[in-house]
Structure 1
């Protein structure tokens, strides 16, 4: 069942032992849902993967649908933390704007292509037809917040005279698209590992194009790929 009557995602605190069991269940659910799909994923299989009793899963989450939503929410939160750690490195302090954007852009790109992120996107794509609200969980808890944080940093650079944009959110959308736009095809939806050199080259090309559009002053082309 899905739609307006869906249960709220849990956020309340809990004692340490309960949190540890909950984390184990969520991790196991993510593995099983990603491997078998929601319809084929049995709660007994998830419980065995987590090393807990089947009743424990129901005690924590109530039903399998709630568990799916909580699993998506938790892994969105983890993706948010990884991406925000990268965005926070984008400051106005560094003398070399290109190098700073390449460092941050490279970290964001590597977040996009890590195993957990691919698994989350594949799971979302597989189940969104039955549970269309899952995209709202991912967007609200991770993607939109990362994009807004990136826009805030780019806006600060614009105010400092280092970038030229009247719409930092649009600039952030452009940078994100330049970094990740070809990754699904290049990585075959995560089934083809991407060499680090390829990721570095893609980051440099993305930043070079971004600076040509948004730098406050004309910029020289970046170095050619190694």
Structure 2
């Protein structure tokens, strides 16, 4: 006899609610968004939202946290080309740069950026939590990758944390300008141009 698995349905509903919440909050702002609109977007009843997330503030916090975890994980995955770059270090660095730009400029990442700082006055702790899941964790992992490349003689020796910060700054600064502070998606061609420019500048400074 096959037993039902109600917990799976509950997980799916929670995921749908959080995804809908991020979309609605990003479109309407925290103050103007309503739980009924989020429930409609998630295709669930309004009481179901409260059963999963208690109230609007909890819903907002959980939606931001879930988005930060997803964006942060995508950014970490973008570092994979640096794990074993082969003979062509420049290509590995440029591939990483492009993947990072893509991870940080999709709809979820833009919504996360916009909402976190728009509501920083009401939810100051969320800024720190988002940074921990995204930028800080990414910088630490990138520094480790760069340190290993330096030990292998591929990059010059130095402080890998500073090198990681500078590499990320070469990407985040231009991306911020082109996305107009997170209000529009950047075309793929522009992302590729940014990745190429960042790679060239970084390797001029750090190639062994």
Q: TM-score, with normalisation over the residues of structure 2?
A: 0.91
Aligned twin of 1:172: 164
CA apart distance, 1:157: 0.2
Residue 190 of structure 1: CA displacement?
Answer: 4.1
1:49 equivalent in alignment to 2:41? yes
After superposition, give the CA deviation of every residue in 1:116-160 in whole Å (9 maximum; x if it has no partner): 111111111211111111112211222211111111111100111
Whether 2:73 is the aligned partner of 1:81: answer yes
Deviation digits for residues 141-180 of structure 1 (CA, Å, limit 9, x no counterpart) = 2221111111111110011111113211111110000012
In 1, are the aligned partners of 2:146 and 2:164 still within 8 Å (CA)?
Answer: yes
CA–CA distance in 2 between the matches of 1:33 and 1:176? 28
Cα-to-partner distance string for 1:183-216 (whole Å, 9 max, x where unaligned): 1222223444433332222211111111121111
CA distance in 2, matches of 1:193, 1:126: 18
Aligned partners of 2:117 and 2:127 also within 8 Å? no
Q: Does residue 158 of the first structure (1) align with residue 150 of the second (2)?
A: yes
Aligned to 1:143: 135
1:34 aligns with 2:21: no
| Equivalent residue, structure 2, for 1:101 | 93
Inter-partner Cα distance in structure 1 for 2:109 and 2:28: 17
Q: 2:106 aligns with which of 91, 114, 118?
A: 114
Q: What's the counterpart of residue 3 of structure 1? A: none
* Cα distance in 2 between the residues matched to 1:84 and 1:211: 21
Mapped contact 1:90–1:101 kept (Cα < 8 A): yes
**Equivalent residue of 1:208, what SS?**
helix
Deviates more, 1:36-45 or 1:189-198: 189-198
Number of corresponding residues? 203
2:87 aligned counterpart, secondary structure:
coil
Give the distance between the partners of 1:129 and 1:148, measured in 2 at CA: 27
Structure 2 segments unaligned to the other structure (5+ residues): 1-5
1:199 aligns with 2:208: no
